[in-house]
Amino acid sequence: MAGKEPSGRPLSPHLQVYKWGPHMAVSIFHRVSGDGLAIVGALMFLGWLGAIAAGPEAYAAFVACVWHDPAGGSVHQVTNILGKIVLVGLTWAFFQHLFSGLRHFVLDTGAGYELKANKLWSTVVIVGAILATAATWLYIAKEALNG
């Protein structure tokens, strides 16, 4: 490939020609969730840490932007909804990438490649991540209601 600009060779991964199934989905979800965590998740984490370090006013401004603004600014009403959507997405990405990563540790040992086992554990990863995300947010909602 040295020195060559894009050639006629196929580009990976070929999403448009794959037939969707649990095994293919779990593979592309691993990449999507990982890259989402790497960019959006890591930046949110750094913003949160930096706001704590900068002091109570900076932290209050961070919380008002992402979660809830006691003053109720109209811009913050929008960013609060976006913030929660992003946080739900990050929660799903965390569980998806965690469960899928654990599956990869098993695959690394050479186990789980048989068609049925592969399909079963791919499905378990996808369903497990959705259930864990739902359980986490039910817990958060319950905590919020109880004060």
Nearer to other proteins, 6 or 110 (CB): 6
- Rounded to an integer, what distance in angstroms lies between the CA atom of residue 135 and that of residue 55? 32
Binders of other proteins: how many residues, by CB under 8 A?
39
Among 18, 45, 85, 130, which residue sits at the site for other proteins (rule: CB under 8 A)? Answer: 45
Among 28, 46, 85, 127, which residue sits at the site for other proteins (rule: CB under 8 A)? Answer: 46
Among 27, 44, 59, 124, which residue sits at the site for other proteins (rule: CB under 8 A)? Answer: 59
Residues 6 or more apart in contact with residue 23 via CB below 8 angstroms: 118, 119, 122
Nearer to other proteins, 11 or 115 (CB): 11
Neighbours of 109 (CB within 10 A): 7
**Interface with other proteins, residue 81, by CB under 8 A:** no
Provide the binding-site residues for other proteins, judged by CB under 8 A: 1, 3-6, 11-13, 31, 34-35, 37-39, 42-43, 45-46, 49-50, 52-53, 55-56, 59-60, 63, 67-68, 94, 98, 101-102, 104-105, 108, 136, 139-140
